[in-house]
Amino acid sequence: MKKFLKNVWHVVCFPLLYLGMQSFVSIIGSIMIGMNTAITAYQTGNTVTLEQITEVIFSQLDVMLVALIACALTLLVLWLVLHREWKASQFWSASRFLKAPIGICALLGLFLNLFTDGAVYFSQITKIFPEYEALMSSLIGRHLFLELLGVALLAPVVEEIIFRGVILRRLLRRSALPPAAAVVLQALLFSLIHGNVVQGLYAFVLGIVLGLLYVWFESIWAVVAVHVFYNLFSVVMSNSPLAGVEIPDAVLAGMTAAALLISAGLLVWLAKKRRKELSV
């Protein structure tokens, strides 16, 4: 029982670290904004209520900046905890970079994003969970540099280290789970960490694809490439002139179907390439 609990802790501790860091940064930011509001009111001879301070905090707290700082701090902690393990296993080595076709992985990320965006639109699920669009508007389409640094770079790197580089890797090496079950379990955890139904659904699909790629190539670079370009597509499109252009449903349906077929084709090609390498 003790060994089981230890193994469970080794799986969940890093997602908890990630969530905890986001909460910690949010709390610190809220305290700073609240104190500044109260001090400004005192200096100007005004009175301010707790309700007013709370309103100011919600209006001024930058979700994108909070996420960026939380990712940076989480990455620092991950390096402090795991850098010896990384060095011993050549986790970031050039050989692991060359082991997977990074360009194809990047293309896969782009087309997966196009497919999941279309699937979300046609499912009309955002009408059931309208908070999703509010969350996306707070993260994407406002601060291009911060989005490129946070959403398109730091967040994918941190999440791939945690979910594929730590959780999936440990499930494959330290548990009796078959690879398929390990892939599904880490994808489920990956979906839950996003904290909302809409993101959770397509994060689960993405998590399955990323898990398969990690099993096939054992390269953190492969899954980082997919995830970076998946997020990058959203950032670029949300900050481009095309963001406000309405695309006819028929055209969008064709694009979504084409993206699904291309994504499936790229995934099959990657699987065949890996099988061919193993058979040599």
Structure confidence by residue, pLDDT tens digits, 14-51: 999 999 999 999 999 999 999 999 999 888 888 888 88
Q: For position 280, what pLDDT does the model report?
A: 63
| % of the chain with per-residue pLDDT over 70 | 98
- C-alpha angle 85/161/174, rounded to 5°? 60
Alpha carbon separation from 153 to 28, 207, 215, 224, 242 (Å, rounded): 24, 17, 22, 9, 22
Give the ranges where the chain is alpha helix by DSSP (H).
2-43, 50-60, 63-89, 94-99, 102-123, 125-128, 131-139, 144-149, 155-160, 169-174, 179-192, 197-217, 220-238, 249-279
Residue (of 227, 236, 68) closest to 149 by Cα position:
68
pLDDT digits (tens, 9 = 90+) for 164-181: 999 999 999 887 789 999
Domain that holds residue 10: 2-279
Residue (of 28, 54, 55, 233) closest to 140 by Cα position:
233
C-beta separation of 10 from 170 below 8 A: yes
Q: Report the distance separating Cα 125 and Cα 107, nearest Å.
A: 26
The pLDDT of 94-112, averaged and rounded, is 91
Q: To 10 degrees, the CA torsion angle through 83, 84, 86, 92?
A: 60
Mean pLDDT estimate for the chain: 91
Q: Centre a 10 Å sphere on the Cβ of residue 152 and count the other Cβ atoms it contains.
A: 20
C-beta separation of 237 from 243 below 8 A: yes
Q: Looking at the 3D structure of the chain, how many domains does it have?
A: 1
pTM, 2 dp: 0.93
Residue 71 has pLDDT above 90, yes or no: yes
**Phi and psi, residue 13, nearest 5°:** -65, -35
C-beta separation of 18 from 157 below 8 A: no
